[in-house]
Structure 1
Amino acid sequence: MIKDWMTSIPKGEICLRDDRKKTTWNATIEPFLMSKYLITQEIYSEVMLTNPSISRGIQKPVENVSWFDAIKFCNALSESSGLNKYYHVNVENESVEIIQGANGYRLPTDAEWEYSCRALSESVQYGVIEDIAWYERNANGTTHEVGLKQSNEFGLFDMLGNVWEWCWDLYDPDVYGSYRIFRGGGWSDDSRGCLASNRRRSHPTYAIDDLGFRVARS
């Protein structure tokens, strides 16, 4: 199933901004594959043989997963798909390194995520918020099945709202150490929280009921 979910994202460039640090920078995006949908509880359970989610439903996004959980899922999905693991995980100190040349599943980078979310649009919301996202005003306090709202121009669903999404990148190691970035807003956020430009961070062991992920491949 996951193979059928992957869609091609074209090469491009994006200017990113961090409002806290008051910095901007440009990133070149090489062509890659991104999953159209958030990883569901059904797929996560099939691969990991467990479901940590608080709001249960097989087609709802898996949530209450840490960054480390997402990394381990990527490796397990790669192995079950006959691909090379993308990450080397050191269990003793919980460090993670990219395996050069690997063709397996991985988390999108911060730049890839925003580029994919905007889908070549200059807008921070790729459509009318009611039509594209489950958020505070329409979610009724819970997650919803993936793919029910309108996709963006790249054919990606739930890039805004439903659950936040872990990315690969460290946020600011000089200040926050090992904290990783997550993006997109969730069901408990207002419209201003569901923007392509919003960036949050937390410890890689952090897990909560409005935080999940989707996968990418180089």
Structure 2
Amino acid sequence: MIEIPSGEIVMRDEGAKSSWKVEVEAFRLAPYPVTHELYGSVLGEASATSAGPRTPVTEVSWKEAVRFCNLLSQATGLEPCYSMGVDPDARDVVCDGDADGYRLPSEAEWEYACRAGTSGVRYGELDEIAWYRENSGGEVHDVATRTPNAWGLYDMIGNVWEWCWDLYDPGVYGPYRVFRGGGAHDRPRGCRASCRRKSHPAFRIDDLGFRLARSR
């Protein structure tokens, strides 16, 4: 896990033409998304796809990502962060911010870590840092094969989108959760540090995965 220092980030919603400042406490973030190898080893099952062990796991819903975080925490002797409910919309999932286990990053944590102190559209040249539509060949690639950002984080842009903890806009979209970062099938516009997308917490697709965070 990479130690991410405390700081602040100005978030923007391009659709609503709004922005807001968020204070981010120090936390830890995995250097790359969860791979098929890690996901299968924790669940005790082989991958159902032909994707290599070092490719990011995809076709994982937000609810499944949260459940995985708890399972990995238990397997490594850490306190699980999430209390899981029975609501199909996952509105009853609660995160314990004091637990030392694995969790999804908040949206603010994700963007703050992605930018790594930069303020541009991306933290580097797109062809160097990301697998996206123009260079991916239409498929997800092994993690950590592009240039990392200044804090040593790989694939924050491109390869796969990544689930975050946050609700997107509950007043408009109900239980929809945020995902960030762009994927292997996206054009450059989708591969920006500020690009936000959302879907139902049961949604799965072939270029959406997740990355692990810890509060301490």
Q: What does 1:136-215 align with in structure 2 at a 5 Å threshold?
A: 136-215=133-212
Residue from 38, 42, 48 that aligns with 1:43: 38
Partner deviation per Cα, 1:172-198 (whole Å, 9 max, x = no partner): 001100000000000000111100000
Residue from 99, 105, 111 that aligns with 2:96: 99
| Contact kept in structure 2, 1:41 and 1:53, CA below 8 Å | no
SS in 2 for 1:206: coil
Task: Could you tell me which runs of 5 or more consecutive residues in structure 1 were left unpaired when the two chains were aligned.
Answer: 1-5
Q: What does 1:65-144 align with in structure 2 at a 5 Å threshold?
A: 65-91=60-86, 93=88, 94=90, 95-144=92-141
Opposite residue 107 of structure 2, the aligned amino acid is: D
Opposite residue 143 of structure 1, the aligned amino acid is: V
Task: Could you tell me which runs of 5 or more consecutive residues in structure 2 were left unpaired when the two chains were aligned.
Answer: none
Does the alignment pair 1:7 with 2:8?
Answer: no
Does the alignment pair 1:61 with 2:56?
Answer: yes
Opposite residue 172 of structure 2, the aligned amino acid is: V
Tell me which residue corresponds to 1:3: none
Distance 1:10 1:108, change over 3 A: same
2-side partners of 1:51 and 1:17: how far apart?
40
Q: CA deviation at 1:50?
A: 3.6
> TM-score scaled by structure 1?
0.95
Q: CA deviation at 1:92?
A: 5.2
2-side partners of 1:53 and 1:24: how far apart?
41
2-side partners of 1:92 and 1:178: how far apart?
10
Opposite residue 192 of structure 1, the aligned amino acid is: R
Q: What is the identity percentage for the equivalent residue pairs of Structure 1 and Structure 2? A: 51
Comparing 53-62 with 208-217, greater Cα deviation is found at 53-62
SS in 2 for 1:33: strand
1-side partners of 2:212 and 2:165: how far apart?
10
Opposite residue 85 of structure 2, the aligned amino acid is: N
Comparing 87-96 with 164-173, greater Cα deviation is found at 87-96
2-side partners of 1:102 and 1:140: how far apart?
41
Q: CA deviation at 1:124?
A: 1.7
Opposite residue 192 of structure 2, the aligned amino acid is: L
Moved over 6 A (4+): none
Q: CA deviation at 1:27?
A: 0.3
Opposite residue 105 of structure 2, the aligned amino acid is: P
SS in 2 for 1:25: strand
1-side partners of 2:210 and 2:13: how far apart?
21
Tell me which residue corresponds to 1:20: 15
| Contact kept in structure 2, 1:14 and 1:28, CA below 8 Å | yes
CA RMSD of aligned residues (A): 1.3
Opposite residue 15 of structure 2, the aligned amino acid is: R
